[in-house]
């Protein structure tokens, strides 16, 4: 006998539509996890969705012999901007394999290491900007880091310097936020409402994102280079198995996809600043490590492997912030009949959409002692290695794991080290407590900091 999966009381026809705020979906799911625990379900407009929030169930659902990534809901909606890209392609679309074989070799640990200096130097531009601010000036942590992320992603992958760290914010940032936000909301509304009231802005934001991509292509054509970067692979690469290449529109799709994917990184570092300010002893430990390993020398890629406590800060922030808040799973299509999970405890239908809520998984008290505490040391050395695989799914899973995870990891590490090495932070509001919202990411809301040169 299986245990019924808990569900909040609903209303006829609309189901649990009032239990999920479409303007802050992930925080609504966090609250449901806090109430119902490791598994729960809701029904919205006739569609049942199951949510999972424990390490054990997460690990089970990541078994690719039984389950696969589900492309539906908001991911289908963002296909309006990126079509069948590495992020949004359906499982049965062969174009995913073609794109992956062409682009994934540009995102291995070895190849992303080639971008170290570009990332470091862009971060140095930001710290210089901050150090030159008046003493009473404040900045939006995630707003500034969003600029840095787009600057470095565009430079490293597409060879174009936006100079976006000062002046007006690049329109790509606002368009990404608008398009991904609308993609999250559209599945919760009747199609007619989407068409009548929300279609025009969604289309404008998608057009703005694609215009950014088109400008990257035009810049490359106007400024030929021998760089063998991501854009070179998109424009000239051929799939070694089929001989196929990306057409012009597919190039645009993938150019847009990369910044959408990398947008979680600034959320991680902004959250790290918050957690560190709440735990100043962690700042001291990190700086001791940085000063011991790097000192007055130039920060190089070789230093990264010798900064374990800083790596622990990044991992612990990934755990607590759930900056990439979850991912979708479904049973393999060849599986017929009900699917049993949790050692026979629960049963779901075949073709059931399931969403892994990393806020819950990452706070599983069966795995993490004091799960709400910020403890970078639990993410270092043997303590980290002994964690179950289901507790380390910050970048997704399996075949469809985040293709840019090695780049994102390096960006996070470089940016954290550069900030701690060069800048002091202070909360504008000393009583601020972390609030989050977001769409394809989770970011701190209303988190402003004063910044100044370290030690001043």
Q: Is there a contact between 361 and 55 (Cβ–Cβ < 8 Å)?
A: yes
- The arithmetic mean of pLDDT across residues 333-338, rounded, is 91
Banded pLDDT at 72 (limits 50, 70, 90): very high
Question: Where does the pLDDT of residue 455 fall: very low under 50, low under 70, confident under 90, or very high at 90 and above?
Answer: confident
Mean pLDDT, rounded, of the chain: 96
Q: Tell me, what's the pLDDT at 190?
A: 86
User: What share of the chain in percent tops pLDDT 70?
Assistant: 100
Comparing 390 with 439, the larger pLDDT belongs to: 390
Per the CB < 8 A criterion, the answer to whether 175 and 205 are in contact is yes
**Residue 450: CB atoms within 10 Å:** 17
The 10s digit of each residue's pLDDT in 394-436 is 999 999 999 999 999 999 999 999 999 999 999 999 999 999 9
Return the pLDDT at 439. 87
Specify the DSSP element, H or E, that contains 158.
helix 141-158
pLDDT band of residue 438 (cuts 50, 70, 90) is confident
* pLDDT reported for residue 22: 84
pLDDT digits (tens, 9 = 90+) for 87-138: 999 999 999 999 999 999 999 999 999 999 999 999 999 999 999 998 778 9
- The burial of 424, by beta-carbon neighbours within 10 Å (0-12 exposed, 13-18 middle, 19 or more buried), is given as middle
328 bridge partner residues: 355
Q: What is the pLDDT of residue 456?
A: 53
Do 256 and 183 meet the contact criterion of CB atoms below 8 Å apart?
no
Q: What is the pLDDT of residue 137?
A: 86
Cα 149 to Cα 206, 215, 298, 419, distances in angstroms: 19, 18, 22, 14
* Separate counts of helices (H) and strands (E) for the chain: 18, 12
Q: What is the mean pLDDT of residues 204-220?
A: 98
- Residue 337: pLDDT band (50, 70, 90) is confident
Q: How far apart are CA 42 and CA 5, in angstroms?
A: 10
Decide if pLDDT at 174 tops 90: yes
291 Cα distance to chain centroid: 29
pTM assigned to the model: 0.96
């Amino acid at each position: 006998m299986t245990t019924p999966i808990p569900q909040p009381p609903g209303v006829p026809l609309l189901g649990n539509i009032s239990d999920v705020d479409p303007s802050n979906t992930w925080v609504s799911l966090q609250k449901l996890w806090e109430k119902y625990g490791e598994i729960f379900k809701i029904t919205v407009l006739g569609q049942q969705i199951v949510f999972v929030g424990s390490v054990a169930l997460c690990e089970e659902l990541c078994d690719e012999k039984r389950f696969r990534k589900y492309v539906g809901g908001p991911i289908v909606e963002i296909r309006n901007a990126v079509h069948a890209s590495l992020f949004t392609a359906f499982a049965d679309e062969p174009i995913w394999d073609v794109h992956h074989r062409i682009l994934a070799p540009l995102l291995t640990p070895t190849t992303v290491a080639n971008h170290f200096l570009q990332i470091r130097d862009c971060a140095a531009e930001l710290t210089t900007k901050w150090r030159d601010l008046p003493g009473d000036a404040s900045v939006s942590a995630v707003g500034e880091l969003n600029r840095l992320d787009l600057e470095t992603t565009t430079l490293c992958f597409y060879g174009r310097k936006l100079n976006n760290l000062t002046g007006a914010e690049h329109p790509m940032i606002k368009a990404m936020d608008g398009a991904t936000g609308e993609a999250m909301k559209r599945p919760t509304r009747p199609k007619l409402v989407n068409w009548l009231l929300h279609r025009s802005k969604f289309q404008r934001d998608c057009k703005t994102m694609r215009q950014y991509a088109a400008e990257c292509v035009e810049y490359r054509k106007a400024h030929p280079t021998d760089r063998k970067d991501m854009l070179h692979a998109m424009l000239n690469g051929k799939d070694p198995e089929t001989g196929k290449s990306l057409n012009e529109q597919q190039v645009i799709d993938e150019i847009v996809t990369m910044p959408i994917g990398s947008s979680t990184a600034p959320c991680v570092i902004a959250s790290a600043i918050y957690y560190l300010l709440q735990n100043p002893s962690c700042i001291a430990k990190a700086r001791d490590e940085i000063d011991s390993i790097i000192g007055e020398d130039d920060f190089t890629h070789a230093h990264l492997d010798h900064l374990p406590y800083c790596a622990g800060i990044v991992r612990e922030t990934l755990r607590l912030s759930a900056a990439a808040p979850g991912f979708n799973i479904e049973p393999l299509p060849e599986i017929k009949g009900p699917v049993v999970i949790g050692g026979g405890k629960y049963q779901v239908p075949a073709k059931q959409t399931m969403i892994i809520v990393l806020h819950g998984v990452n706070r599983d008290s069966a795995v993490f002692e004091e799960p709400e505490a910020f403890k970078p040391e639990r993410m270092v050395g043997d303590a980290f290695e002994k964690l179950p695989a289901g507790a380390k799914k910050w970048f997704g899973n399996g075949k469809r794991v985040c293709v840019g995870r090695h780049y994102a990891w390096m960006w996070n590490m470089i940016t954290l080290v550069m900030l701690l090495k060069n800048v002091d932070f202070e909360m504008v509001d000393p009583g601020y407590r972390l609030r989050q919202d977001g769409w394809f990411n989770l970011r701190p809301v209303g988190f402003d900091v004063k910044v100044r040169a370290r030690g001043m």
